[in-house]
A and B are shown apart, each in its own frame.
Chain A
């Protein structure tokens, strides 16, 4: 911005002197044109008779001040030798027009020259003033607009500063909130994990409890049997063979020996079941498995079904498997199983009873396709694009927080896979998962 003091201040309609209004070029041209008509001298003076511009023969130019002086006393003599006329602007006399002619010019021509000259001078003044006023008003208006713009600019700069500061603060708050949200989300994910583990644990505990109970009861029976066997052995040790024989019968030793076989084989079977459950669980959790490759996706799916065995049995869910040949996949087995489980859990809950889940695996071009279809209530079109959003759930409060499918989605995306859902209301839902080979 320029120095304020350097600005030119225009006042519209400021007072002007004649020499400020008329330009030498215009005036000289006019006076020359008059002079060549046979005039002795022609001049324009200021309001104090000081000559501003003049044209004439040398001797007349020299005598001009005295000629004007003489004319002051008699501006328009009868003999038409000269003429001294006032030039006015805005009603104010601002100068004089002086003309001195040779006697050869007729009075008519003289009158004509005089009249024409004064008219031209007035027109020159008027048009110049109009131009000056125009310029002044333009300049004033522009200057004002400029000043207003400067003021607006100043205010805008201040607002801009404020907004920048506000934006900065908002950004900070946003960052803090995002950080908090991230932490909260992580906590929720962890909770969900714990909840599924808890759910699994409850089912598994039940499954282990059953064989455990009869193994325990069998061991109790076995303990009693051992006591009886000891009695008989003691008699034999003392040589009381007859008594021993009686006791053998009394204690129904034949039955006991028979039953011990049953007890052991039953207990072994129970232990076998527990072993199987634990192994399933271990397989599913991949506790010992740090590998990044699945050798056979079908086997991994089976492991997951194995873990859910109890839940499936309770609800009477039918699983139909349509597996293709064993396929390898570069996905962490633990994550893969979790993803399958989360989708299966959804399918299991797809309606109250008579649920059938069809699991199909196949290879299509460079992709492995896994489709999990249920015959449940289906997913309404309006929410199909929301089911992978975190915390989106249709389950009643307390029964699901809506993170299962989000986790599944995250796992799939992590391995450049895709998941798609096809569903019509009351016609079940099909989740189609594709992983690049």
Chain B
């Protein structure tokens, strides 16, 4: 849920990159950090203390000020993919405004994807977030590898759910921005009317996207 501090004139949005272990969530963020080079993009904070059970997530913040002076901060998080870090995942997922599910395209990872997606559904319901309403995009990463699920198969499975799907190769920066942009668009749509982004804060969807994605790509 969006954090809005009226006195401070500040809105904080939380986007979460979810998915199984080693599906490329951090790689997505590393590339976003690399490609989006605009004033307001913060440093990538990596809490990659590998041997610590509970900590393992990354945070990439973005910041801009609207024409009316409202400060908008978008914090993009990754969650630890490993099954045992469920408590951390839940803590990070709390009050999420949008979710990008990063799936591993390899056929042998299909089961892990399913387990992670089920875990996402379960945690969202625990945290009181309606999966039908929360902005959600799915990225099928690692398209450059062999033995991957075909695009046709992915579309036949996901198109009926109305969840946008993206093919990506995050390691080479492909599909990373598209996934992020799509998630931003959906997030804008979901909060615009409630927080009067366009009417009160004078932020159009185009402005919202461009402020958060302008870079050298």
Q: Which residues of A does B touch, CB under 8 Å?
A: 11-13, 15, 88-92, 126, 129-130, 133-134, 136-138, 140-142, 144-145
Contact = CB atoms under 8 A, between A and B. Distances in A.
A89 B54 CA distance: 25
B207 to A, nearest CB: 16
B41 A13 contact: no
Nearest to B64: A91
A115 B40 CA distance: 21
Contacts of B40: 91-92
Interface residues of B, number: 32
Interface in B137-166: none
A130 B55 CA distance: 11
B10 interface: yes
A90 B61 contact: yes
Contacts of A134: 47, 49, 55
A137 B63 contact: no
A144 B89 CA distance: 11
Interface stretch (B71-79, B101-109, B184-192): B71-79
A134 B46 CA distance: 11
B87 interface: yes
A91 B55 contact: no
B10 A91 contact: no
B167 interface: no
B57 interface: yes
Interface string B1-28: 0010100001010100000000000000
Contact of A91 (B57, B61, B87): B61
A11 B41 CA distance: 21
B11 to A, nearest CB: 10
Contacts of A140: 87-88, 90-91, 94
B197 to A, nearest CB: 18
A15 B73 contact: yes
A275 B63 CA distance: 124
A144 B41 contact: no
A126 B91 contact: no
B42 A130 contact: no
B214 interface: no
A91 B212 CA distance: 11
Contacts of A91: 39-42, 61-64, 73
Contact of B87 (A13, A126, A145): A145
B54 A137 contact: yes
B45 interface: yes
Given A15-B3, A15-B10, A91-B73, 20 more contacts: A11-B3, A12-B77, A13-B59, A13-B77, A15-B12, A91-B40, A91-B42, A91-B61, A91-B62, A91-B63, A92-B63, A126-B43, A126-B45, A134-B49, A136-B91, A137-B57, A140-B88, A140-B94, A144-B90, A145-B87
